[in-house]
Structure 1
Amino acid sequence: MKIAFIGQKGIPAVFGGVELHVDELSRGLARAGEEPVVYVRSWYTPRCLKAHEGVRLVHAPTIRTKHLDAAVHSFLATCHCLFTDADIIHYHGIGPAAFSPIARLVGRRVVVTVHRLDWAADKWSPPARAMLKLAERTATLAAHRLIAVSVDVAGYLRRCYGASAAVIPNAVPPARIRPLSGMGRRFGLETKKYVLFLGRLVPEKRPDWLIRAFLEHSARRGDLKLVLAGGSSGTEGYVRKLKDMAGNDPRVVFTGNVVSRDKEEVFSNALLFVLPSRLEGHPIALLEARGYGLGCLASDIDPHREIVRDGLDGVLFRADDYLDFTAKLEALLSEPRRIREVGRRAGENAASRPG
C-alpha cells in the first residue's frame, strides 16, 4: 500500500514532535513492507536527500514565512500527490489538513492526525487563528479516519465537532545512554549538574518561566546550569527575549536544536527535565525524558496527566500558577534523592504506560 504523508516539515527529524512522529511511523511502515512517501521542505530536509531508510522523500516547494510555509507546502504537496498512485493521503496537523477536502473530492482515502490545538499557539494573530479553526472543522468533515495523539485532543474534537477520533499516543524508541562528550566540551556541561528543557522555544512552552525561576533559585546552587535545547519556530523575537532574560549569565546555556548523539547525551546526563507548557498534544520530549529515567517537573495540563502520575513517577505543578511552579522546582532541586526516585519510577513505567 502506498501512503503519502503531508504536513510535516520533513524527515529525518531534526526538531519538532510532528516530524519525530512521522519519522518513526513512516520508517515502521517501510519495514512492514508498505510504500510510504513523505513530502518534505528543502529548508528542513537537504535537497540531495531522496530517500530515508526505505521511505521515499518528495521535495515540494514552499514560501518560508510564518504564515505561508505550511500552507503553501501542503497545498502544492496535495496537488502533486493527486497525480500519483497513492492509496492513502495522511495529513499531519490541522493547518495542512485544510487541503484534505481536495483529496477526498477526487476519491482518495484521507487520514488526518491531530497533534494539538494549533490555533491556540501564541504566535498566531486573530485572523490566523480563525483560519486554523476553520481548517480544524474542515478536517473533521473530510477525513475518512481521524486520529488524535491524546485522550485530551480526542475529547476536544468530540465536544466541538461531534467527531470520533481514534486515540493513538506518541511513542519513542528505547533510550540510548551516553556519557557526556561533545556536548560537555562545547557547552561546559557536567553530569547531573544541569536542568534540561528540550523543545521549541515558543511562548506556550513557557521557557521564560523556567529561566526566571532558575535564576531566582540558582544563587543557592551555584554549580547548576540550565540547558535550553531547542530553536525558534517563527518566534525569533521571543527567542531574543529569552536571551535578554538570561543576560550574560554563563549558567544559562542555549544549545540550539539537538539531534542524534547530542540529544542522547543531554538526556542521559541531566539532573532534572522541566516542561512548563500551557499547551501540548502528547509531548514526545516528556516521553523521551521518562525513557531516560529522568525526574520530570511539568504543568498539570491534561496531556501531561495522561503521561505523569503526580508524586509517583514525576511532579506536576498548577499550570497557571507561577508561584507553585517555583516552589515545586526549588523543592526538587533541594532534594536530589527525590529527583532520582521519581526518575527511577518513570524509567520503569515508561514502557508500560501509554506512549
Structure 2
Amino acid sequence: MMAVYSTSRPPNSNLMGGCAVRICVLGLRGIPQVVGGIETHCEQLIPRLQRQRPDDEFTVIGRRSYCPHLIFEYCGVRIVALPHAKNKYLEAISNSAVGLLYARFYIHADVVHIHAIGPALVAPLAKALGMKVLVTHHGADYNRDRWNAFAKAVLRVGEFCAVHFADRLIAVSPSLAEQLKRRYRSQASRISFVPNGATHILQPAASERERRSLRRRFGIRGEYIVTVGRLVPEKGFDDLIRSFKSVANPPKLVIIGGAAAGDPYVAHLHHEANDRVVFTGSLRRAEVTILLRDASLFVLASRHEGLPIAALEAAILGCPLLLSDIQPNLDLGLAQANYFKVGDRDDLRRKLADPPRTFLVDPAVILNRYDWDKVSETTSAVYSTLMEKTPNGLANTH
C-alpha cells in the first residue's frame, strides 16, 4: 500500500496530445490516516481517480509534520511532504505556496487541484504559471469560530480567488453550490456539486475480543452516545457536554477526536465534563468504526460543516443520528426529528432524553447517495472537462 521512493520528472511537453496529464493536489495536511475531513476526502478520492485515470499521474502535496516520509507512494499515488509554517494562520497557505512552486517547476504539473478556500489564495499564481486549476470548496471556513476577523477576511478573498481563477470549482454540498452560483452568477457554469463519500467506513465487523478490549480501554460499559470530530469550537462540543449533563440518568458520552497540544478550548471541555464523559483522543479508523457500530446514538452539534463525513459514516453503520440544523446537515435530507436547533442546549437536552430509536435512518439511502466510487466517477468527469479541446486545438476551460 505504501512505498518510499524518489524520482525526478522531466517536463510534459504535450498536455492534450495523449501524454500523461500531471495533476498536483494541494491544500491538505497529508494522507494516509491523517485526521480531518479534507484528508479523509483526499485519501478516498485521489487513489480512486488514479485507478480510473491510469494514464495520468497524481501527486499529493502534504505537510511534513503529518507525513511519515518525505516522498512515498500510497495506493499508486505519489505523496510529497513539503515544509510549512508552524502557525495555525499560516500553515495551510505556506505549504500550498511551496507546493505550487514544486508542482510547476519540479514535476511540471499540468493541473493543480486545490482543496479548501484558504489554499485557493494561490489560484491566481497557478493560472499565471500556466496551469489548469480545479478547486474543491469544502465549506465557508470564514464562518469557523477559531479564526479572528483578519483571518476570516483573508478566507473570503480565498473564496473569491477560487471562484474567479479556477477553471472549475466543486462544492461538496448542494446548498453551498447553489449559494456560490447565486453570489457569483457570471461564474455559475463553472461550479458543480459533488458530495463527499462515506463507503470507506464499511469493513468486516471487529471480533468480540477487539470490541471488548476497546471498551475496557476507555471504561465504556453498556449503551453510550458518541460524537466524532476535531476538538475545535465550531464542532459545538461544549453545547453537547452541557446538554448531556442536564439529562437524567444518561449513558456515557464518548467524544472521539484529537486537538492541538495545549489548546485552551480542550482544557475548557475537560473542565465542563463529568465522569460520564469519555475523551478518547484520535483513534485509528478501525477503532472509530467499532465505536460507531456499537453506539446507541451519534450526535453532531456543529455550528459549521462542509458535508459531515462523520455523520455519514455513523449512518452507514446503522447508528441513529441527531444533528444540529445547520444547512450542510440539513442537506443530508433526514427527517425533521433527526435535527435540533443549533446552539439551543435546551432543545438538544430534550432530544437526548428521547429513545435512540427515534433517530434511526436508512443506511441504504446514505450508501447510495454517498458512494466514493460514484463520487470519483463524477470528479473524473470534471477533470475531463479541463482536458477538452476546442476546434482550434486549445484546451477548453469554460
Same fold (TM over 0.5): yes
Alignment partners' CA distance in 2, 1:158 and 1:231? 35
Aligned to 2:122: 99
> Does 2:382 correspond to 1:351?
no
Partner of 1:74: 96
Aligned counterparts of 2:261 and 2:306: Cα–Cα separation in 1: 19
Letter in structure 2 aligned against 1:118: D
Which ranges of structure 2 fall in alignment gaps of 5 or more residues?
1-20, 372-398
Task: Answer whether contact 1:196 1:270 (CA < 8 A) is retained.
Answer: yes
Q: Distance in 2 between matches of 1:92 and 1:195?
A: 32
**CA deviation after TM superposition for structure 1 residue 49, in Å:** 5.8
Q: Distance in 2 between matches of 1:321 and 1:189?
A: 28
Give, in whole Å, the separation in 2 of the partners of 1:16 and 1:336.
27
The size of the alignment, in residue pairs, is 340
Could you tell me whether the CA contact under 8 Å between 1:295 and 1:346 is conserved in 2?
A: no
Rg larger in structure: 2
Corresponding position of 1:338: 358
Look up the match of 2:332. 307
SS of alignment partner, residue 246 of structure 2: helix
1:276 and 1:298 in contact (8 A); partners too? yes
Cα distance change, pair 336–298 in 1 and its aligned pair in 2 (3 A): closer
Aligned to 2:389: none
2:69 alignment partner in structure 1? 47
Check 1:156–1:5 CA distance in 2 against 1; reply closer, same or farther (3 A cut): same
Give the deviation of 1:253 after TM superposition. 0.8
Contact map agreement 1:63 1:69 (CA 8 A) in 2: yes
Q: What residue identity is the alignment partner of 2:216? A: R
Q: Could you state the TM-score of these two structures normalised by the residue count of structure 1?
A: 0.91
1:254 aligned counterpart, secondary structure: strand
1:194 aligns with 2:216: no
Task: Tell me the SS of whatever aligns to 1:50.
Answer: strand
- Any idea what the Cα deviations from partners look like across 1:120-162, whole Å, max 9, x if unmatched? 1111111111111111111211100011001121122123332
Paired position in structure 2 for 1:216:
246
Residue 252 (structure 2) aligns with: 225
Q: Who is 2:263 aligned against?
A: 236
Would you say 1:137 and 2:160 are equivalent positions?
yes
Distance 1:95 1:337, change over 3 A: closer
- Find the partner of 2:112 among 89, 96, 107: 89
3-state SS in 2 of match to 1:44: coil
What corresponds to 2:16 in structure 1? none
CA contact (8 A) 2:300 2:323 kept: yes
Equivalent-residue separation in structure 1 for 2:292 and 2:333 (angstroms): 18
Normalising by structure 2, we get a TM-score of 0.81
Structure 1 portions without partners, runs of 5+: none
Instruction: Work out the CA distance in 1 between the residues paired with 2:294 and 2:63.
Output: 33
Say what the alpha-carbon RMSD is for the aligned residues: 1.8
Shift of residue 316, structure 1, vs aligned partner = 0.6
In the TM superposition, 1:1-355 aligns within 5 A as 1-32=21-52, 33=54, 34-47=56-69, 50-83=72-105, 84-162=107-185, 163-164=187-188, 165-173=191-199, 175-176=202-203, 177-178=205-206, 179=208, 180-190=211-221, 193-217=223-247, 219-221=248-250, 224-232=251-259, 236-246=263-273, 249-311=274-336, 315-331=338-354, 335-339=355-359, 342=360, 345-354=361-370
Runs (4+) off by over 4 Å = none
Q: Counterparts of 2:260 and 2:42 in 1: how far apart (Å)? A: 18
